[in-house]
Amino acid sequence: MRFGEEEAHLDLLAVRPKYRRAGVGRRLMEWLEKSAVVAGISVIYLEVRENNKQAQAFYRKLGYCRVTRLPGYYLGRESAISMGRDLWSPALSTAT
Ligand SMILES: CC(C)(COP(=O)(O)OP(=O)(O)OC[C@H]1O[C@@H](n2cnc3c(N)ncnc32)[C@H](O)[C@@H]1OP(=O)(O)O)[C@@H](O)C(=O)NCCC(=O)NCCS
């Protein structure tokens, strides 16, 4: 994760296959989100490959919404879906 002044950008997140679906990814995200809130950051953005439906489901479950589609984002060949989450939204905040 890259932490900016008001926004953070998640560049990469992966859990080793044998440890997936055990809550590790969710806990990593919650830890990153709490760090962002402490730093005064209000929103996290990320990109995920358009064909990576599993990761999109994961981020949706954590409260991330689709922002836009980015054609050719990966080396001009594959499109990305940009997703984001407002950390200060009462309905979604985990910063308790
Ligand atoms: C995406 C990824 C990080 C998720 O990590 P994880 O530790 O398996 O996720 P969690 O166990 O915390 O999942 C939390 C919730 O997200 C959703 N979710 C997670 N993986 C999912 C999948 N493959 N399909 C559908 N929903 C999924 C579920 O609702 C899950 O809760 P549940 O298991 O109680 O149903 C992991 O699958 C991964 O490393 N994938 C390969 C790399 C990648 O695609 N990274 C993201 C793009 S940068």
Tell me what percent of the residues of the chain surpass a pLDDT of 90.
91
Please state the rounded mean pLDDT for residues 71-76: 96
In a domain? residue 94: no
Give DSSP secondary structure letters for 77-90.
TEEEEEEEEETT-T
Whether 91 is covered by a domain: the verdict is: no
Give, using CA atoms, the residue closest to atom 38 of ligand 1. Answer: 14
- What is the extent of the structural domain holding 55? 2-86
Report yes or no on 92 lying in a domain: no
Q: What are phi and psi of 72, to 5 degrees?
A: 65, 20
The Cα–Cα gap between 39 and 36 comes to 5
Q: What is the pTM of this model?
A: 0.93
**Tell me, what's the pLDDT at 90?**
59
pLDDT tens per residue across span 50-71: 999 999 999 999 999 999 999 9
The length of the chain, given as a count of residues = 96
Q: Whose CA is nearest to atom 18 of ligand 1?
A: 58
What is the per-residue pLDDT across 80-94, written as a single tens digit (0 to 9) for each? 999 999 998 755 444
Asked if residue 12 belongs to a domain, the reply is yes
Residue 96 domain-assigned (yes or no): no
Number of domains in the chain: 1
What is the CATH classification number for the domain harbouring 50? 3.40.630.30
The pLDDT of residue 89: 78
